[in-house]
Every structure is written in C-alpha cells, then in structure tokens.
Chains A and B, each alone.
Chain A
Amino acid sequence: MERSSWTLIIIAALGAAALVLSFVPSAWPNPLEGVNEAQRIERLPQLADAAAAVDAACRKGDAVAFAEATTASYRKDLEQRLDAVEATLTGQTLQAMAAGASGYEQWLAQPLWALEATGPVAVAAVARSTGDGAQVLVFDWDGEQFKLDEVRHVVRVTGPEQAKTFVRELLQQR
C-alpha cells in the first residue's frame, strides 16, 4: 500500500475516532434511574461503596477524601453542626466523629425498605436496628460516582410501604 493511502486511512481513522468520542458522554447517567426495582436493588452496592468511602475518609481523618465522597450541601450542614460545639471540619474532627460510630456503610446492610432514584438523586430507606423508625440516606450522582448528600432519621416511618411513600415525596420535593 502506498504511503499516501496509509496516511489517508490513519487520518480517516482518527476522524472517525474523534467523531465517536464526541458522542461519548462525559458524565454517565444515574445508574439507579430508569431501571426496575429489582435492578435498583442489585445496584445497591454502589451506594454502599459511596457510604464506605465516607466512612473510610472519616476513619483516616482525610478531609480531602471526605470532600470527594460527600456533597457540598452535606458538608455545609455538618459544618453548621460542628459550629454549635465550637468545632470545625478537620481531619481530626472526622476521626473523632468516626470513633465509636458504626458508620454509614453498615446502615445499608440493614433491611432495605425503599430504594428510589430520580434524576441524579438516589434515596435508600432502611430499618434502624434500634427499631425507632427508618434511616434515610440520600446520594447525589455527579456523573461518575455517588456522593452522600443527606442523612435523615425518620421516626414516623415504620415499614416498607411508609418508607416508599416517604422516599417518593422526598424525591418530589427535591
């Protein structure tokens, strides 16, 4: 083959690659959205991984990793709460928080009452081991990973049906 033909092929290949890459999304859609309940439950480990990342950052006292695993909104609220006891969000504080706490990942090992997703948001409601209502974890999909956005203890939710209703209402409000 002539050299010019090779050049042409290479240019064409590069052009085609560029064309394909231009249609590749820079951010993937929420993996829990648009699938049925069973598929969502199959993908629950993705949320558990996100929760585990938060727990790990806390245990290590790694503020940078913590920032990567949580949303700005989550961190802002946490800062407000720390401010009440004259503390700030530092690695040391994260470690102090983690000490003696069971961690978010473990919550997702509890019986799952509801799991819903809309847009970039995924919400899981699990039974609290202490029997006092549901623990609700809200994650935000940033196109690449879930980040912990909100944690709620909802006393009035005491079963799967109530949890589903609650989670749907929560998603509507957001």
Chain B
Amino acid sequence: MRVLLVEDEVRLADNLAAALRDGPGFAVDWAEDGQVGDDCACNRCYDLIILDLMLPKLDGLSVLKRLRGRHDVTPVLILTAKDGADSIIQLLNAGADDYLAKPFDLGELIARAKALIRRGKGAAHPTLSVGSVEVNTLEQTVRRAGVLVELSPTEYHILEYLMHRPRVIVSKRELLEHLYDYNWEHHSNVIEAHVSNLRKKLDGALPEPAPVIETMRGRGYRLALELQSDLEPDLEQSQ
C-alpha cells in the first residue's frame, strides 16, 4: 500500500515515514508543504493520505477541499495540533475520514492508517479471505487451506493488494504505483519475478493446487476465476 504523508515538520515526517515503512510495510511519499502535497495527490496512486493541518503555502484544509473537489475518494487521515470540536467537525464535514491530535501514539496512527486503507477498499475485518487463501493483515501472515505460507514482504504486499481487489484485473503499473514509493526505480519485470515466486509458494502449500493468480497477457493479474464462487458477499459488492 502506498501512503502520501504531507507534514512540514521534518523530524516528525521522518519518524512517521520510518514507522509506516517498518511496521505495516507501506510505501511512503513525503510532501513538505501543502502545494507539493496537492500535486502528489493528483497522481491518484495513494491508498491513504496523511495530512497535517498547519502547512506552509497551502493549509491542510485547502488540500483536503481540492482533493475532494476532484472527486478523489482516497481516505484522508488528518493530523492536528488544534483542539476544539469545531475544527474537527469542520474537517470531517470537508471530507476527512479520521483525525489524530498531536502528540499522538505511533501505534494508534498505524492502526488507524490500516483501518482507513481497509475501509477504503471495502473490507471491514483485518483478515481477508478469498477461496482457500486467507491473509491476516495484522500479523502479515498467509494461509492456503489452513497451511501457513512463508512470503517475502514484497510478495505479501502484492498478494494483499490483489486480495483487496478480487476479480479485478490489476495491471503491473498499478501494482508498481501502489507498492513502491516515489524514490523507487520502476521496473515491471521486478513485479513479474515477484508474482512468479508468489504463485510457486502459494501452490506449493497444496498437493494438487489450482492456480491462484491468473496472468492476463498484456493486461495484468487477477485472482483466479475458480475462486469466484467462494467470494465473500461484501467483497463482491465492493467491486
């Protein structure tokens, strides 16, 4: 998952980015003022935007209003040092999904970030299951028909992303955009290698496996159709 962090306090931004990368393993882009943040958000490649309120050049509220003005539905978590119900009400009404008051707990921030991403993708529970595959997003563990499958972080993130979008063809470009931050070298063959490994590991867990990830030539990947009948209703509806 890729997160945009808009925060002008350099030290705080460093810490938050490090925590989001180390903990849930998100790709994090950092914007140091509202203008840059707004420009970044235009790419629409983020699964969550963490937005500080007091920003130079363009304040957080304006960034939020512009974002929602473009009909961008990316979840937004506001960081604020302001007290008072008025400002919170104003923020939520302007389209914010959640807020955290400074000084906040890093664990809480990560939990809220995860919840917002989950909600943004239509899942209510941290455990995602499609067919015989079950992904626990808290422990970052994967089971195939009850058997634990060991995955590398990138393999896990690819699977998690696909699990959030069953039946939908996800392009390599989309996977790249959502799994790597701005500073990463973009090479689609990196994805191919990871998907190949992921497939092997998932199928290795069963004696007679059916393929989990289908490759749609030139278009991308999707979770295998044989799983369609087993889809959970809420996941179906969300797509």
Answer yes or no: do A and B interact: no
